[in-house]
Amino acid sequence: MIAGLIFAVSIMTLLQFFVSYSRSLIAQSQGHELSEQAREICGLTGEAVTVEQFRRLEQLIALCPEPGGDGFEVRAVATYFRLVSLAHILLSWAIPSAAPWIEAERGGCAHAAAVVLDRRIAYSRMMLEQQTNH
Amino acid sequence: MLGPVDYVLVFAGFAVHVCALVCLLRKRAFAQHFTLILYLCFSIAVGIGRCSVQRTAGFTSDAYLYFYFYSDALTTICLYFVLMTLYAHVFSEMGVSKQVRGGAMLLLAGTAGVSYYMVAASSDRLITHFVVELGQNLYFVGVLLTYLLWGAMVKLRENRTRLMQIVLSMGVYLSLFAGSYALGNLYPKLPVWHYLYPLINMWLPVSWTYTFLKVPDDARIATARVLAPTR
């Protein structure tokens, strides 16, 4: 009985802490303006990064060398994106009013992924320049 | 007998703890986050101790079981010290750190007492049951304390990104452990626990390494951005 209660409360707090933690990671990238190069490589035409581009961004991130330490951020944001996508599937018919909130969250994840890709592209270019200079 | 996956998990756990410790020391966090370093050192020592008990007594022995759960309880108590420091950081301007310390110690003693009473009142009176019960309750009280701290941070509009991420990562860790211990109490025979606990154990050092590597000490973030949708 007590174990069941502890389990239920822990799952609820886990969700809340994980959502807030992921948001704190995403919020760091919100003010970041994407470079023209990154926009071109990602195939971004509009102002904002769309939710549909997340998977493509993930694939592009995997292709770029890691500047060190942002792999954890990518995995956390991807986990959060999948969690919110699951909520989108489960809640879209039950609570339609939650749809804009879910879309905003997924959009935030996509933007955070684009910022990571931007950083990795800049790092790759820097490495390439260093190699050509030597 | 341990398999290759177990060895990989043990080695990975040890490696991430050492990496986190080195990262914190290189970022000169010794004075400001002493309890984090204490926790990491203690975890590394516990990891080494578990390995040696495993080698001498065997993985399925009672000695290993006792060592595992009692060392886990001590590691959780270490996390209480981390939480106390975080409380002190958040309430630093109010000058209530002594009260916070006293309250946390009372809570710790209370949790151990309640756990003992719950097991002593049961018919089997097994000491092994007590140690699992104690672990579950310690983690759960940790979850509640972290939740209270996060609530206070939201109310006080705490905007230090590092502090925020450390508190939230601790919330994730303690909730994961409290939940899995509670489920482990209900279904102790599930083989998943064997792999899940070492995996969860890596969360704190990995998230702290990220925070100290990527988030500058002076970074600030509005609490509202963490609470409300990002765009």
The domains of chain B are located at 4-227
- What is the token pair recorded at B21? 């410790």
Residue among B186, B206, B226 minimizing CB distance to A24: B226
Which tens digit of pLDDT belongs to each residue from B89-103? 888 777 777 777 777
Q: Residues A18, A11, A8, CA angle at the centre, nearest 5°?
A: 160
The pLDDT value recorded for residue B36 is 94
- Reported ipTM: the value is 0.87
pLDDT at B216 over 90: no
Nearest CA in chain B to A15: B172
**Residue B175 or residue B59, greater confidence:** B175
pLDDT band with cut points at 50, 70 and 90 for residue B121: low
CATH architecture of residue range(s) B4-227: Up-down Bundle (1.20)
Domain boundaries of chain A, sorted by first residue: 2-133
pTM for the whole thing? 0.86
Q: CA B224, CA B81: separation in Å to the nearest integer? A: 28
Residue among A13, A28, A69 minimizing CB distance to B175: A13
Contacts of B148 in chain A (CB under 8 A): none
Instruction: Please state, for a pLDDT cut of 70, what percent of chain B lies above it.
Output: 91
Contacts of A107 in chain B (CB under 8 A): 230-231
Q: Average of pLDDT values for B47-53?
A: 91
Contact B185 A3 (CB under 8 A): yes
Low-confidence ranges of chain A (pLDDT < 70): 46-47
- Neighbour tally for B153: CB within 10 Å: 23
> Which amino acid is located at A60 in the chain?
L
